[in-house]
Every structure is written in structure tokens, then in C-alpha cells.
Structure 1
């Protein structure tokens, strides 16, 4: 029973499983049918999409072309609007231009011109035939506007520029020269800024702009007129000077240069405030040109005067060299300009300053050799003091002279180098011997001058005075004056250790003068005979000399010879003393020669007197002076 139930249950389960399989098979069949339908639909859809793509592709391309065309049309319309705008606004801009910068206001006027320039540029770039008339109208307006700006710039500048100012007022009070007002500088700067921008766009040099030319044309004459009186004063003070040696600072050139420096610096400040950096140098040069031309003319005229009076006015040339060199250096340090221009103006005077050194030396030599007579009493001549005074005066100009000496080179004044060694510019270090000392070279020049002077005096003294004593006095006086002037001046420091040549000339003068002493002392020499029977030689003089004993040993003939010697000595000695008193001697020369005479004669006389003064037994007939008397006479000669 139980087995039967179990089989029935299994059959029921199998039957249920078959029923589920049948249901699944039925569903699979429906799914396959549905899949076929979907595949058929996808095939039809793909065919339809291909047709759509074939139709939509050309339409998309055309659409893009239409979009580009539309954009181009919009751009053309915008360009046409822009091109039409200047033409439409031309009347408004023209009204502003006609009003001018003063009535319209400078800022609004400049803005209008800028708009016109921009519109004109755009129209020229379009190159449309239909805009040619508008372009011509705009060009006319721009030109009119620039002309008005030019006139306005000129008017503003002239209103602030006097014909001249009194330079001495500012120089003497040490006040800066006036500059343009800040308000005018601002307006002038606005105009220049506009013009500079236009020039950059057009590729023009900024210094060629009309505002730069106007500035130089207006301010240049003002600078020249302000300095004109000082230029004339420099010439007049040179011509009115007396015939003496030029003294430092007595010419107006120093004030002239001082005013020029201050005035130029004030003008440079104006230029820097108005113009662009690249314009400063060229415009400053152009503005200062009229004043520089007047300076060059003034220096040429001064140079002519100096050359005509070279021995006394060469010092003015040295002063001008120093003043102009300082001016050039100061302006270059402040502005970076004008050094070459000032050097060119200075060139004639600098050449004269160089040439003067050799000319003064030749003048000294020439003046000595041209002496036609000399004082018969040996008195000094003015030429000695004049020559030394020249050298003393040069010390006041030692700085410019030192630079000239270095450029000439040591002893360059002896050759043609003094004329050939001239430069077109203020000298640079490259033209110098770097190790050269201008003061040392100048000291050498001084010794050359002194040696030339005394060589000439020696030659003329021998020729004109002939007597050695007078020649000696003349040369010694000259040495004394030269040495005194040197030692009491600033030359003493420069020539320290170089005055040995004066000692040489003093010794030479002493040698000439003491020739007379030889003629006098020759009478004091005697011959001492030795007694053949006595081997002892008699003493020649001094302590313990017995004049009476010596005379006893002499023959009558020898005694007469001694008497003659005393008489001859007395005559020649008295003559020498008398002539010594007639010579015109400097005090130190008189002492020097008296001391030398005493040194040469007194010892000989004392010896002679000791031996033979008893020849006239104290009567004074032959022995005129005893030792104390002869000494007293020498002391009177000091």
C-alpha cells in the first residue's frame, strides 16, 4: 500500500515537470519570434537612418555657410558704421578744431585731434573709394589742428620768455636763474607728449618735431641776449686794462662763465620737464647754440687782444683756459652735454696759451740781446725784475699752466712742439704722460727762463761794460734781485733745491769783481832771501815778527822796493775803495763783495805790515794804514 502511494506521487511530480517544460518551450518560441521582429525593425531603422544622413548632411554644410555669411555681413555692416561714424562726427570735431586749444580747452582739443588721427588711420586702412573725400576732410582738419597747436605752443612759450634778464642780479646774489612756471610746463608737456606720439606712429625723429624747433627758436635768443652784456664786458675789461701784467680775476670772463653755467642749467631743467629723455641732449645743444656762437666770437676777439699783448696778457689766456675747462666739466657732469662745443670755442685761446710759453722764453732772450747799453755803475736793469715777475705771476695760474705743461711735455717749449701740440678739444688723459707732474715741468720751465736771462746778461755785460768789476757788480745785483723775488714768492716752494744755478752765477760775478783784488794784492808779495851764512829762514809775519830786525837785514835797494810797494798798494787800495763806493750795489751784494775783498787782501796786508811797517819809522809817509785802520776801512765797505 505504501509502495503504491509512492509511485503515484512520483508520477504526479513528473507530470508537473513536463507541464513546466512545455510552458518554457512555449515562451522560448515566442521569444524567438519577438527577436526576429526586433531584427526586422532594426534593419528597417538602419535603412531609414542612412536615408536621413544622406539628406541631413548637405543641409548642415549649407547651414554653416549661411552662418559665416551672416557673420561677414554683420562685420561689414559694423565696419560701415565705423566708417560712417567719423564722417557723421566730423562736424563735431571740426567745431572743436575751429575753437582752438584756448577756447576748447587743451585736453579736449588734444582728445579731438587724437580721435581725428585714429579715424583717418582707419579710413586709410579700409582703402574704400567712397571714403576718399572724408579722408581729405579729415586730413585738412588734422593739419589745421596741428597748426593751431604749433601756434599755441609758440604763444605759451613766448608769454613765459622775456627778451632777456639781468644776469648780474642772479650771479651776485647767488640765486638760480628763473625757469618756466609749473602751469606752463604742464601745458607745454601735454602738447609735446601728443606730438611725440604722432611722430612715433609716423616714424619721425622726435627732435625734428615742430615743438622742439619752436622751443630752440624761442629760448635760444633769450639765452644769447641774457649773456650778451657779459660777453661785451669781457672784451671791454681786457681792452681797458693798463699796460701792466694781467692780474687774476680782473677780466669779466669769470662772471660771464658763472652766469652761463647757471643759465644753461636752468634751461636744461626746463627741457627735462617738458620733453622726453631722448630729446634732452639734442634740444639742449640746439637751444644753447646761439649763446655758444657768441661765446666763440668773444673768445676769438679776446685771443686777438692777447696775441697783440702777449708778454703781459698771456696770463689772461691761462685764466680763460681754466675757467672754460671748469665750465665744460661742470656742464658735462650736470647735463652730459656741451663739452665738445666749449672745447671748440676755447681752442684758439688754448693754442695761444701753449704758444706763449716758448714765446715768453724767446722774448726774454730777444730783450736781453737787444740791450744797447747798461749802467756803468753796475746797477741792475728792470728786465731782471720783469722776467722774474712773469714767473711769479704764472704761479697764480698754476693749475691751467700745469695742464698745458703736461700736454707739451718736459722742455717742449724749446721746440716747435709749443706750436704743434695744440688740440681741438679739452685734453684727455690719453694725450698726457700719465706720470708727468705739471708743477715739476713748470719748475723746469722757470729754471730755463732764468738761465736764458743770465746767459744773455753775461754776454751783453761783457760786450757793453768790458770792465770785469762792473760786470761782476751787474751780474751779482741781478742774481740778488732774482733770488730775493723768488724767495719772497710762491716760487720758493716750486724752485726749492733748484736755485743752485743762482749760486753758480753769484760765484761767477764774485770772480769778476775780485779780479781787482789781485791787482791790489800783487803789491803785497815780496821775495824773502835767506842769508847763506845763516840756515834759519826769517819769519814771514805774525806774532813775534820784528819788523826793525827784518829791515836791518835788507839792503837799501830792497828797502826802497818795500817803500815802493807800500806806496803802490796805498794808491791801488784807495782807488779800489773809491770805485767800490761808486758802484750801485744791492745791500747783500755790497756786503758780499766787501767780505770777499777783506778775505783776499787783509791777511796779505797784515803779513806785509808786520814785516815792513818800520820802513818809514812810523811817520806814515809810506805805510798809510796800520792793521786796525785797514780793517776799519773794510768794515766801512760792508
Structure 2
């Protein structure tokens, strides 16, 4: 019974387990079927997704295009709405433009044109045909407004620009030249900036000097500059006329210095005006344009001065040197303060600067020509005016050593010699102020020029004197007088520190003059040389006490004594003739003393020796021996 129960229980458990397995198998089969369905669905979904992508891609692009178009339409509608506003308010803006900047007020007027210009810009961007008429109206209003701004600029500028001012008032009182008031420059600057901005938004920017307001500025201020400087320019020409046409030009007597001062003060003030009104890029070109007429007048004035200098080179060459320095300084000062006009001023100065360079060689050649053209020379050896005139020219040149030093450097050592100055190239470049510092080179070259001039003068005089005066003593006196005047004028002037170390050339000519003059002494001294031979026992030994003339004569033959008498007689005649001529010559004090000393040194020792030996030849009667030692010494002293 128990066994049966157990079997029955196990059987029930197995059935239950089998039932569970059947359930699991059933579920597994359903899962497998579901998996297959899912796989099939995924396959279909993937195929469908690909189709969707193929279809949705273009649709997405079109959608984006539609969005952009929508935005554009919205922007156009907004623009139309904005455009409708200025179109609606055009009458208000037109009213402001019509009354002009003076009545409407400059800030209000400028804002009105800004609004019109902004509206026009937006309408151009919309490119709507319906706005064409409004655009034309706006353009007309803007053009009218700009024209009135230019007219207002012109009026403001002319109101504060006098026809001219008197430069001397500001120069003599050391006052700065007047500039435009700050209020005016502020208003003019606002107008210029506004119109410049409009031009930049337009078809393209124009050159600074070609802009409308720049042209107006130059047209108004240019004549003011020219008119103000006109009298100074005229004075520079008029002051070349002297009461005495042959008078040497003196520094500062021409009006060119005042003219340059006026130009500098006026131009600097004008540059300040331009910098206060215009943009940085406009300053230089507009400054050049505004000053153009005044610079043209300067060029004309300098050409006139140059013509005068060339016609009066001997007396007015110094004006050329002064003009070179003054205009060069003006150029440097303006270049320092404005950075402009250097080339223009150099071109204006060029004719005078070339004349200044040419004058150095021309004056030296003229000295030679003048000496060569002399028809007569003083027969007493007196100096002639050309010597002092030449030295006076060199003395005057020292007063202009600064510009001459620079010219000398540009010519180079010896550049003044015939043809050299014309070969030296000279562009329009103007020397800077630094080149006018009197450096050693410039001074040395000028000193060389001076010694060349002196040597050429004395050489020409020597040649002319030999041809016209003939006799050597007269030529010697003439040259010695000239040398003395040259040296005196060096030592008593500013030439001294330059030329005293170079007086070798003068010393050489003094020696030549002395040699020529003392030729006569050699002829006179020939009578004091004896070739008489005495008995050696009777002849006194040199240096052994006093000479006994009587003893010497006792040892001479009658023929020798007669020869001694003739020598005394010939000496007396030639000596007296030499003394008479010496006193007849026209000599500078220094020359007379120099030649008297030379004669005494050459003849007195010889005569004293001869007298000591032979004065007893006429036994004190004075028939042959005219002079004793004391009397002939007195004659020598009378020559000084």
C-alpha cells in the first residue's frame, strides 16, 4: 500500500515537470517566431529608412531655402517699413537742407544729411524698383546739402581771412603770425571730415589736394599768402638799387632777410591751420598747393636778384652768398617744422646758388683781365687801386664765410679755376643748415682760394709791370708796394686767422721784389771791390786792428791810385743817382724802410771797408772821397 502511494506521487511529479517543459518549449518556440518577426521587421525598417533618407534629404534642403527666403522676405518687409519712414519724413529733412547749415545749425544739418545718406544706402541695398524715385530725391537732397556745406566752408574761411596783413608788424615785435580761431577751425574741420566721409562712401577717394574743400581752402588762403608777401618780395628787388652803383654790397642791406622771415612765419602759421582742419594725409599736399603761388613769386624774385648780381658781380656777388644762406636756412626751418617745401625752395634758389659758385672763378679771372687791360702804370712804382680792391673783396667775403664755406666744399679744392666751376654738377638739392657750419675743410679751401687770388694778382701785376715799366728797380718798388698792401689788409682784418699761416706766397713775392730793387745796389757795389795787389808784408791782415789807409796807398803804384780815385768817383755818381731815385719812388712806409735797410746792409759795410783802405787817396780834400763813414751813414738813415 505504501509502495503504491510512493509510485503514484513520483508519477505526479514527473507529469508536473513534463508539463513545465512543454510550457518552456512552447514559449521558446514563440520567442523564436518573435525573433524572426523582429528580424523581418528590421529588414523592412532598414529598407524603408533608406527610402526615407532619399526622399527627406532634398526636402530638408528645400526647407532650409524656404527658411532663408522667409527671413529675406521678413528683412525686405522690415526694410520697406524702414524705407517708408524716411520717405514719409523726406519733407522734414528737405526743410532742414533748404534753410542751410547756418540757420539750421551745423550739427543738426550734418545729422540730417547723415540720415538721408543712411536711408539712401539702405534703399540701394534693397534694389526695389518702387523706391527709385525716392532714391533720386534723396540723392538730390544730399548733393544740395553737400554743396551748401562747401559754400558754408568757403564763407567761414573767407570771413576770417583778410586780404593781407603787414608782416613787419609781427617781425619787429617778435610776435607769431595769426592763425584761424579755434571755433572756426573746429567748424571747418567738422565740414571737411563729413564731406571726406561722404566721398569715401562714394565712387572712391580723391587726392587730398583735389577734394572740394581742399580746393576751396587753397583758393582762399593762397592769395592771402601771396598778397601778404608781395611787398616783401618787391622790397628785396628794390633794395638792390644803391645811391652809389660802385659801392660794395654790405650784409643785411637787402630785403631778402625780412622776406624770408615773413615767409617762414606766415607758412608755419598756415601749416598749423591746415593741421587743425584736415586729416594727416592731407597736410603735405594741401600745404604745397596753398603755398604754390607765394613760392612762384619767390622764384621770380630770386631770378631778378640773380640777374642783378650777374650784372654787378664785382660789387654784389656777396648778395648771392647772403641769399644762399638765408634761403637755405628758411628751407631747413620749414622742413624741421612742417617736413615740406624743401624741394620747391631748392629749385627757387638754384639760379642764385649756381651764380654764387660761378662767381668765385669769374672774380679771379676778372682780376687777371683787369690787370691785363691796364694801359699805363705809375713810373714811380706807386700802387694801383686794383690791389686794395681785390683785398677788399676778400675781406668782405669773410663776412659771408658760412655760405662761402659750404660753396667751397661743394666746389672742392681748386674748383674755382677756369672752367672747373662750370663742370661741377649741381642738382636742385639744397644744402642743409648743418652744411653751413664753418668746418675746417670749408675754411681751408677758402684760404686756398684767397692765396690763389693773391698769387694771380701779383703774378699778373709783375708781368704787366715788366712789360710797361721796364726798369727792374721800379718793378721791384711796384711789386713791393702791392705786397705790403696785401699783407697789411690781411693782418688788419678777419682774414688774419685764415691767411697768416699761409703767408708764404706773400713772402715769396716780397723776396722777388727785393731782388729786383737791389739789382742797382749790385751795380753800385761793383765800384767798391778792388783787385789791387799790394806787397804782402805791407798789406794789413784782416782783423788785426785799424787799417792804415796811408800805408796801404804807399804800396800802390800811380796807376792803382788812379784806379782807386776813379772807383770813388764812379761810386759817388752811381750812389747819388741811386739815392735820388730811391727818394723819387712812391713807396709805402714799410717798403721804404725795408729797401733802405737792404741798401744799407749791402753797401755800408763794403763802403766802410773801401773807405778805411783808400780814403787817403785825396788826402782829405774831398775831391774823390765825397763821403766819410759818418756822412754816408747819415745818407743811409735819410733813406728810411
TM-score by length of 1: 0.89
Taking only aligned residues, the RMSD between alpha carbons, in angstroms, comes to: 3.5
Offset at residue 493 of structure 1 (A):
1.4
Cα distance in 1, alignment partners of residues 260 and 282 from structure 2: 25
Q: CA offsets, 1:274-314, max 9 Å, x none?
A: 10000000000001111100000000000000000011111
3-state DSSP class of the match of 2:155? helix
Measured in 1, the distance between the counterparts of 2:100 and 2:198 equals 19
User: Does the CA-based 8 Å contact 1:530-1:538 persist in structure 2?
Assistant: no
After superposition, the Cα gap between the structure-2 partners of 1:556 and 1:65, relative to the gap in structure 1 and judged at 3 Å, is: closer
Comparing 383-392 with 175-184, greater Cα deviation is found at 383-392
Counterpart contact for 2:596–2:636, Cα < 8 Å: yes
- Change over 3 Å in CA distance of 1:625–1:536 after alignment to 2: closer
Q: Can you list the C-alpha shifts for 1:33-73, whole angstroms capped at 9, x where unaligned?
A: 9xx9xxx9xx99xx9xxxxx9xx999999998886665444
The alignment covers a number of residue pairs equal to: 629
SS in 2 for 1:251: coil
Task: Describe the SS at the equivalent of 1:170.
Answer: helix
Structure 1 residues 74-153: aligned runs within 5 Å: 74-153=74-153
Cα contact 2:342–2:430 (8 A) shared by 1: no
* 2:207 aligned with 1:205: yes
User: Are residues 1:322 and 2:325 paired?
Assistant: yes
Aligned residue for 1:332? 335
3-state DSSP of counterpart to 2:91: helix
Q: 1:489 to 1:94 in 2, by over 3 A?
A: same
SS class of match (1:622)? coil
Select which of 560, 568, 576 maps to 2:578. 576
Give matches, 1:432-471, under 5 Å: 437-471=441-475
Structure 1 residues 66 and 368: alpha-carbon distance in aligned structure 2, compared to 1, 3 A threshold: closer
Structure 1: stretches of 5+ with no match in the other structure: 1-14, 48-52
Separation of aligned partners in 2, 1:379 and 1:240: 31
Question: Which 10-residue stretch deviates more, 351-360 or 574-583?
Answer: 574-583
Q: 1:282 maps to what in 2? A: 285
The corresponding residue for 2:306 is 303
Contact 1:547 1:612 in 2 (8 A): yes
Distance 2:550 2:63 in 1: 166
For 1:1-20, list aligned pairs within 5 A: none
Unaligned runs of 5+ in 2: 1-11, 45-52
Instruction: Give the aligned partner of residue 232 of structure 2.
Output: 230
Q: Is the 8 A contact 2:209 2:289 kept in 1?
A: no
Q: Which moved more, 1:81-90 or 1:322-331?
A: 81-90
Q: Quick one: distance in 1 between partners of 2:575 and 2:64? A: 143
Could you give the per-residue CA deviations for residues 305-358 of structure 1, whole angstroms, max 9, x where no partner exists? 000001111110011011111111111111111000000000110111111011
CA distance in 2, matches of 1:540, 1:576: 30
Decide whether aligned partners of structure 1 residues 119 and 417 sit closer, same or farther in structure 2, where only a CA change above 3 A counts. farther
Which whole-Å deviations, capped at 9, do the CAs of 1:126-180 have from their partners, x for residues lacking one? 2222222112111111111111011100000001100111000111111100000
Indicate the residue corresponding to 1:481 in structure 2.
485
8 Å contact from structure 2 (residues 208, 285) kept in 1: no
What CA deviation, in whole Å up to 9, does each residue of 1:235-282 have, x standing for no partner? 011123632221111111011111111111111000001100000000
Q: Residue 91 and residue 376 in structure 1: after superposition, are their counterparts in 2 closer, same or farther (change >3 A)?
A: same
Give 1:424 deviation, angstroms.
Answer: 3.0
Aligned position for 2:360: 357
**Deviations 1:1-34 (Å, cap 9, x if unpaired)?**
xxxxxxxxxxxxxx9xx99xx9xx99xx9xx99x
1:373 aligned residue (351, 354, 376)? 376
Determine the C-alpha separation between the residues in 2 that align with 1:547 and 1:59: 157
- In the alignment, structure 1 residue 593 sits paired with structure 2 residue 595: yes
SS of corresponding position for 2:500: coil
Aligned to 1:246: 249
1:262 paired with 2:265, answer yes
Q: Is the 8 A contact 2:79 2:122 kept in 1?
A: no
Aligned to 1:5: none
Cα 1:632–1:80, aligned 2, differ >3 Å: closer, same or farther?
A: same
- Structure 2 Cα separation of the partners of residues 61 and 224 of structure 1: 73
Q: Partner residue of 1:419?
A: 422
- Report the CA distance shift for 1:101/1:582 in structure 2 as closer, same or farther (over 3 A): same
Note closer, same or farther for the CA distance 1:65–1:373 as it changes in structure 2 (3 Å cut).
closer
Q: Residue 343 of structure 2 contacts residue 430 of structure 2 at CA under 8 Å; is this kept in 1?
A: no
Change (3 A) 1:584 1:341: same
- Matches of 1:457 and 1:428 in 2, distance apart? 38
User: Contact 1:239–1:305 (CA<8 Å) still a contact in 2?
Assistant: no
Indicate the SS of the match to 1:585.
coil
The aligned residue for residue 507 of structure 1 is 511
- The 2-side partners of 1:337 and 1:608 are apart by 85
For the structure 1 residues 59 and 249, does the alpha-carbon distance in structure 2 shift closer, same or farther, using more than 3 Å as the test?
closer
- Aligned position for 1:177: 177
Q: Distance in 2 between matches of 1:167 and 1:514?
A: 66
Task: Tell whether the 8 Å contact from 2:381 to 2:586 is kept in structure 1 after alignment.
Answer: yes
CA contact (8 A) 1:261 1:327 kept: yes
In structure 1, the partner of 2:219 is 217
Could you tell me how far 1:542 is from its partner in structure 2? 8.2
Q: Note the C-alpha offset of 1:541.
A: 8.9
TM norm structure 2: 0.88
Find the aligned partners of 1:414 and 1:446 in 2 and give their Cα distance: 12
